[in-house]
Amino acid sequence: MNQQLIFTDTPGAELDRIVDAMGRPQTVVVADVNTARLVVPALRRQSRTLSDAPVLTILAGDAHKDTNGLQYVWHGLEELGATRRTLIVNVGGGVVTDLGGLAAATFKRGLPMVNVPTTLLAAVDASVGAKTGINFNGYKNLIGAFYEPAASLISTCFLGTLPRREFLSGYAEMLKHALLDSNEALSELLRHEPDFYAGGGDVLLDMLRRSVAVKARIVEQDLHETGLRKALNLGHTAGHAFESLAMARGEALPHGYAVAAGCVVALILSHLRLGFPSGALRLFASYVTRHYGPVAFTCDDYPALLGFMAQDKKNNAPGRIAFTLLEDVGRPRTDIVIEPDNIKVALDIYRDLSGI
Amino acid sequence: MNQQLIFTDTPGAELDRIVDAMGRPQTVVVADVNTARLVVPALRRQSRTLSDAPVLTILAGDAHKDTNGLQYVWHGLEELGATRRTLIVNVGGGVVTDLGGLAAATFKRGLPMVNVPTTLLAAVDASVGAKTGINFNGYKNLIGAFYEPAASLISTCFLGTLPRREFLSGYAEMLKHALLDSNEALSELLRHEPDFYAGGGDVLLDMLRRSVAVKARIVEQDLHETGLRKALNLGHTAGHAFESLAMARGEALPHGYAVAAGCVVALILSHLRLGFPSGALRLFASYVTRHYGPVAFTCDDYPALLGFMAQDKKNNAPGRIAFTLLEDVGRPRTDIVIEPDNIKVALDIYRDLSGI
């Protein structure tokens, strides 16, 4: 991984330093309508580079992470006379870093880019790992490229205004990373409320640094997702199934909420199959239930949930359902095939633990 | 460069061997309306893999190397249930290898692909070097990615039916490669008529092998076109200007014809600036004039031609015009800035040598 990960309270100043080191190329910002209004002006005040940089503003929301948005950025870069040296600065959440990243990867076969994630989820997840992409024909991230930013500038200074459910969504990925890391990292997260102000900005920046390091370490060893990177899929097999079920019912279930519940299911299976300690399972499940609430379903939903799990795009075991599980905190095992009856047992236990 | 370059009289059998080594993944062919009709049936008879492989057929011609064609292939891959292991086999000229290559580079963030070039130009140029792309908003290859095929299967068996001007276009790139290679390689090309049957199929396959090796050697040393690869731009600064002038007049000038004339201009400048031997220049110019005819222009066109040269996208010298030139056959120098008055002198000499 060649990407610089910079944890900072002054992202604008850090950006100027990077741009100076690159010989001050033309710089173009990609933002969405929210970050263009709420974040870019603050960054402009901090940064000489951004003070007069043009901004290509896409529509906000995952529904607009599509070919129209991509072509809009391509057009904009062409009109601005972008060359192969032009620097793209993506300012936003995962939609902006994914779409702006794919535009940077493909315009003139690749321009340098820097990510400035403005949501907790983007800071901890989307801005690291070289994945870019758009949705296509109803499929999430069907089109994309592996393309590394030159740097991600990770800061807590944009997170204070996030809606609580957005913050919780990012925190769920941090919980997942802690499960993949160590008991110490997990205790640190479970000790705090999942709230920007609970630990103060410095504590949060430290937690972010540690959380991102888990992902960076795994991605570094497996940039193109051939093996180890599947550890990061912890909680996502059941989590995606919960999301799909909610979508089929026309209900809203944020990705992070689904992942948090999916991690509980993964820990239950880990306990049953690999002897994951029950004490850690209970602590984790109660934290998730308290802050995220249970995902509601009955045993009538089991066939649908199993069907969604079998379709998971990272599932390499055709006709069977494979999970990333843990022998203990920090010790992942990937591609563990679980029989449908045992998955149903785990869903029963999830409902017990969550009090539904 | 990880790409296998396979020179063969039996591309279908070679493809089966590659597919076997990959564990026989799902295989999808990308072709255009011409190659789907004229080439794919012959390949199907040679190849177990292709006998029942689905074919995604795009429209023929550079005008269709666009976002519509790209989205058509993305849609097709999605409908066929392509996974990250699905093998794309591009069967066609540069339009197919460029567009099919970009689709392969971006579907699910990258599928393996094999190129089967069916034109001389694609065999000698487009199928080697990891460039993929589409035209966008009137600009050639504005959108694309560097993405290597697993293999290119280079064969002369599809070239016998090429229109003469198509064949000559490819031969011009071979002439350029020979200029970058050695006197021996250049003599070999100048000794033959630029015609499929002149030397017999085996001689042509040998010349192709040698020509492709020149490009492969240069690309290997500079995959992302930061320096040395510019040597391959020999003849293209003036060549692109001739193409643009023709386009502005509504005339058709095939790329290879423009490059052949552009190489003559580059050799004239090489002689004036770097002492390139005049004997080789005269031999080369007379071969080009005899087989390609002169590009027609007068001194009234000089300002327009200089304007086009200054806009060349590989020109890193803002406001000035830089060329790839030769000290001698096989000894390129890149980024040689030439003053406008000296370019005009070279254009005068070109007109003299070409008898216009």
Residue position matching structure tokens 């199929």: B201
B107 contacts in chain A (CB < 8 Å):
142-143
Q: What is the pLDDT of residue A8?
A: 93
Contact predicate B37/B185, CB 8 Å: no
Per-residue pLDDT of chain A (356 residues; tens, 9 = 90+): 678 999 999 999 999 999 999 999 999 999 999 999 999 999 999 999 999 999 999 999 989 999 999 999 999 999 999 999 999 999 999 999 999 999 999 999 999 999 999 999 999 987 678 899 999 988 888 999 999 999 999 999 888 878 888 899 999 999 999 999 999 999 999 998 887 765 566 788 889 999 999 998 888 887 666 677 889 999 999 999 999 999 889 888 998 999 999 999 999 999 999 999 999 999 999 999 999 999 999 999 999 999 999 876 666 566 789 999 999 999 999 999 999 999 999 999 999 999 88
Nearest to residue B302, comparing CAs of B254, B245, B232? Answer: B245
Taking the domains of chain A in order of start, what are their residue ranges? Answer: 4-161, 171-354
Q: Which residues of B touch A137 (CB under 8 A)?
A: 74-75, 78
Chain A contact for B236 (CB, 8 A cutoff):
no
**pLDDT, tens only, B297-328:** 999 999 999 999 987 666 656 678 999 999 99
pTM across the whole model? 0.89
The reply to whether domains A4-161 and A171-354 share a CATH topology is no
Q: How far is A253 from chain B (nearest CA, A)?
A: 25
Distance CA B324, CA B79 (A): 46
- Measured between alpha carbons, how far is B328 from B180 in angstroms, rounded to an integer? 9
- Contact across the interface for B144 and A78, Cβ inside 8 Å: no
Which CATH class, in words, describes the domain spanning A171-354? mainly alpha
Chain B residues near residue A139 by CB distance under 8 angstroms: 78
Query: Do residue B106 and residue A145 have CB atoms under 8 angstroms apart?
Result: yes
DSSP label at B104? Answer: H
Decide if domain B4-161 falls under CATH 1.20.120.1200. no
φ, ψ (nearest 5 deg) of residue B106: -115, -15
- In this prediction, residue A1 carries a pLDDT of 66
Task: Please indicate whether, in this complex, the C-beta atoms of A74 and B142 are within 8 angstroms of each other.
Answer: yes
Most B CBs within 10 Å, among A68, A71, A85, A106, to test the B interface: A106
pLDDT score recorded for residue B1: 66
How far is B29 from B49, CA to CA, in rounded Å?
10
Task: Give the alpha-carbon dihedral of A142, A146, A152, A157, to 10 degrees.
Answer: 10
Could you report the predicted ipTM of this complex, rounded to two decimals?
A: 0.87
Contact (Cβ atoms closer than 8 angstroms) between residue B126 and residue B94: yes
Reduced to 3 states, what is the DSSP secondary structure of residue A320? coil
DSSP strand pairing (B4-7 vs B151-154): parallel
What is the structure's pLDDT at A350? 97
